[in-house]
């Protein structure tokens, strides 16, 4: 059984005390592929160090997180563009729009999102979408950019069935993590109406730990609880869920 965590912030300060042990726990639990989203330039070095420590397991993305789109976002985008030109990445992410914390920089977020989609098309890479309180705004941009060269993952999907179907129509897989285990997470009520071929697994560690760890630091080994939940929803074995979603991740990331 090969499990793929398509979204995990293993460089986070939350893991500074036990990062190696935490990653080894995940590998021992069957998680052998970790896809690492970028946030901003301040984390780039830590991402490269992580890759050097676990070269067989770590796959890096590059991008500017929407909550880090501030007055200096053009400088941050210049860093993204520079890094993309230097080496191989497996996705542009995480990118998108977040209006939960702050609506001040909506126009800048829209601009950054669109620019990074253009780079994804240039490099033939998937995009990893962060969307919080911004489905309409995200879908507006996806509609204007849709095409066979637009594809990726709708990270931490927590919308409705209709929004799930719309995301899939734009060549997006749904990134499913700890929220599916929550009592009031809602997506568990309709997820089995979505073909499993459109699902990938993620933790978003150290955030959004699944039950029974909710409220604590999340880590990639906890993805097994997501596997078990999906196994019950789809009436499939955990091994089947792990293998199918890993195959789906290979379609997105090309590896």
What pLDDT does residue 184 have? Answer: 87
Beta bridge partners of 127: 92, 152
| Per-residue model confidence as pLDDT tens for the chain (255 residues) | 899 999 999 999 999 999 999 999 999 999 999 999 999 999 999 999 999 999 999 999 999 999 999 999 999 999 999 999 999 999 999 999 999 988 999 999 999 999 999 999 999 999 999 999 999 999 999 999 999 999 999 999 999 999 999 999 999 999 999 999 998 889 999 999 999 999 999 999 999 999 999 999 999 999 999 999 999 999 999 999 999 999 999 999 999
Q: Look at residue 191 in the predicted model and tell me its pLDDT.
A: 97
pTM of the model: 0.97
Residue from 61, 88, 43 nearest 5 by CA: 61
What pLDDT is recorded for position 26?
Answer: 98
| Res 101: pLDDT | 86
CB 157 within 8 A of CB 175: yes
pLDDT at 95: 98
What pLDDT is recorded for position 1?
A: 86
């Amino acid at each position: 059984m090969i499990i793929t965590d398509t979204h995990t912030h293993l460089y986070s300060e939350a893991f500074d005390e036990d990062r190696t042990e935490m990653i080894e726990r995940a590998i021992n639990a069957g998680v052998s592929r970790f896809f690492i989203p970028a946030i901003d330039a301040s984390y780039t070095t830590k991402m490269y160090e992580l890759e050097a420590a676990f070269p067989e397991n770590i796959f890096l993305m590059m991008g500017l997180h929407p909550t880090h789109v501030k007055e200096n976002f053009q400088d941050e985008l210049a860093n993204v563009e520079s890094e993309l030109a230097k080496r191989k990445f497996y996705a542009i992410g995480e990118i998108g729009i977040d209006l939960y914390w702050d609506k001040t920089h909506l126009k800048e977020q829209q601009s950054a999102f669109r620019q990074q989609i253009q780079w994804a098309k240039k490099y033939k890479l998937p995009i990893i979408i962060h969307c919080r309180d911004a489905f309409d705004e995200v879908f507006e941009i996806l509609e204007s950019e849709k095409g066979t060269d637009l594809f990726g993952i709708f990270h931490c999907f927590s919308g409705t069935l209709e929004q799930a179907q719309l995301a899939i129509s734009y060549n997006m897989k749904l990134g499913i993590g700890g929220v599916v285990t929550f009592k009031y997470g809602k997506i568990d009520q309709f997820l089995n109406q979505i073909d499993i071929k459109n699902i990938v697994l993620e933790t978003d560690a150290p955030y959004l730990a699944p039950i029974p760890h909710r409220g604590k630091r999340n880590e990639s080994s906890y993805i097994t609880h997501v596997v078990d939940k999906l196994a019950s929803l789809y009436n499939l074995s955990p091994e089947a869920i792990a293998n199918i979603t890993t195959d789906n991740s290979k379609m997105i990331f090309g590896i």
